[in-house]
């Protein structure tokens, strides 16, 4: 029998469950480019209803979803305000500039979270020499912020500030479902403060592929055209949409299990000399921690854990990320915690 690998590198590494595979096999399909795939239509209607928007569009990835939302609502020469460590700026291959001619003005937040005070003075004056500040994007939960949940009161105040200044508001909600489950605040309450929203199905929800964007009907008409331009038009997409539908209907509330499992691992990190949670409070399914240089670089911790069939992500010279998800059980989390407590103290660098 093969040894089980506990893969904590990301919540995108999940495998479809047998029931999800059955839903994929049974999916009713058509040609979505012609608007004739019934399963995709059902998914889009469900997402729009859950997020409190007029319409939604299924796309292959969260990066495409974010970039469509930017391109559909801006013009070349516009400026996007975003937090310095956000996904849109750091991990989407320069998409705003490459695809939309939009520059990003990054603002340092507190573990990914901005306050209205951070935004004061960031609107460019009207001047032929300057870009036009046009859009603001927030990320909830914030990946590089340690899986932090954006406080809803900050979202409300930033949204009001953006409206006051005529800015378009976008939410990168790749892990919005985690915020919904952790707080009990419904998705439509989070989303009503934004003109466009992106959500993901292939992270904690465990689908093999797919994201969706949501907004007004007019936005989705423009978005569908841009999806085609970017090569994201899909044919019998119901096969993928069926997995996303199954995930929404069966895997949403169980995200609370991932949050509990993350706490088990976080407690072990708190107990282990040479490791430090950063941020110190784990709010959802992501655990970010710093490694004391005396223990060696982050990759040495990753190598040591790999020897025990545990995979983590060295996200920087001294930074490690671990991520709980559908395929990590409570027993797995306990084993990871016990392994950290047992093997890290006093370790010597792995060759």
Interval 302-324: pLDDT, tens: 999 999 999 999 999 999 999 99
Is the pLDDT at 294 greater than 60? The verdict is yes
pTM: 0.96
CATH number for position 289:
3.90.1150.10
Is residue 83 in a domain?
A: yes
Q: Are residues 309 and 218 in the same domain?
A: no
Residue 275 has pLDDT above 70, yes or no: yes
Q: How many domains are there within the chain?
A: 2
Q: Answer for the pair 110, 50: CB distance below 8 angstroms, yes or no.
A: no
Average pLDDT value for the chain: 96
Q: For residue 257, which of 321, 140, 178 has the smallest C-alpha distance?
A: 178
- What pLDDT, on the 0 to 100 scale, is given for residue 8? 98
Report the phi/psi class of residue 68: left, alpha or beta, with left for phi > 0 and alpha for psi in -120 to 50. alpha
Residues 6+ apart with CB under 8 A from 148: 111, 112, 113, 141, 142, 279, 283, 284
pLDDT at 348 > cutoff 90 = no
Helix, strand, or coil (residue 152): helix
Q: What is the pLDDT of residue 3?
A: 84
* Number of DSSP helices (H) and strands (E) in the chain, helices first: 14, 13
For position 208, what pLDDT does the model report? 97
Locus of tokens 């506990």 = 6
CB atoms within 10 A of CB 89: 19
**Within-domain flag for 4:** no
292 within some domain: yes
Distance of alpha carbon 199 from alpha carbon 216, whole angstroms: 15
Task: Indicate whether 74 and 214 sit together in one domain.
Answer: yes
Over pLDDT 70: what percentage of the chain?
A: 98
Q: Are residue 244 and residue 261 in the same domain, yes or no?
A: no
With a cut of 50, say whether residue 341 has pLDDT above it: yes
**What does the pLDDT average to over 267-277?**
97
H helix or E strand, kind and range, residue 336: helix 330-343
Its domain, for residue 278, covers 254-343
User: At 113, phi and psi to the nearest 5?
Assistant: -100, 125
Do 154 and 282 fall within a single domain? no
- Answer yes or no: is 7 within a domain: no
pLDDT of residue 350: 46
- Is pLDDT at 243 greater than 60 in this prediction? yes
Q: Are residues 177 and 311 in the same domain?
A: no
**324 in any annotated domain:** yes
Residue 40, SS3?
Answer: helix
Question: Could you tell me if 134 and 230 lie in one domain?
Answer: yes
What percent of the chain is modeled with pLDDT above 90?
Answer: 97
């Amino acid at each position: 029998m093969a040894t089980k690998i506990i893969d904590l590198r990301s919540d995108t590494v999940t495998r479809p469950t047998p029931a999800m595979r059955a839903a994929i096999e049974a999916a009713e399909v058509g040609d979505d480019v012609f608007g004739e795939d019934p399963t995709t239509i059902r998914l889009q209607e469900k997402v729009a209803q859950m997020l409190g928007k007029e319409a939604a569009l299924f796309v292959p990835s969260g990066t495409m979803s974010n970039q469509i939302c930017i391109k559909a609502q801006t013009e070349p020469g516009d400026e996007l305000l975003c937090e310095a460590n956000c996904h849109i700026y750091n991990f989407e291959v320069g998409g705003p500039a490459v695809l939309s001619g939009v520059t990003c003005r990054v603002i340092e937040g507190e573990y990914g979270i901005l306050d209205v005070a951070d935004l004061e003075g960031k609107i460019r004056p009207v001047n032929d020499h300057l870009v036009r500040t046009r859009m603001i994007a927030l990320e909830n939960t914030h990946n590089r912020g340690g899986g932090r949940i954006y406080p809803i009161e900050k979202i409300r105040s930033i949204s009001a500030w953006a409206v006051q200044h005529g800015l378009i508001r976008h939410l990168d909600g790749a892990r919005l479902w985690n915020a919904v489950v952790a707080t009990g605040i419904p998705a439509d309450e989070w989303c009503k403060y934004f003109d466009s929203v992106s959500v993901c199905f292939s992270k904690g929800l465990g689908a093999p592929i797919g994201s969706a964007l949501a907004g007004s009907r007019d936005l989705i008409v423009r978005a569908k055209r841009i999806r085609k331009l970017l090569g994201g038009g899909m044919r019998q997409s119901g096969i993928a949409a069926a997995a996303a539908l199954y995930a929404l209907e069966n895997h949403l509330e169980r995200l609370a299990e991932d949050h509990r499992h993350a706490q088990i691992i976080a407690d072990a990190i708190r107990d282990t000399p040479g490791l430090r949670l950063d941020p110190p409070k784990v709010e959802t399914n992501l655990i970010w921690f710093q490694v004391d240089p005396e223990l060696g670089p982050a990759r040495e911790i990753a190598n040591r854990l790999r020897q025990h069939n545990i995979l983590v992500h060295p996200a920087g010279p001294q930074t490690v990320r671990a991520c709980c998800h559908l395929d990590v059980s409570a027993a797995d989390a306990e084993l990871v915690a016990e392994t950290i407590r047992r093997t890290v103290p006093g370790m010597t660098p792995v060759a």
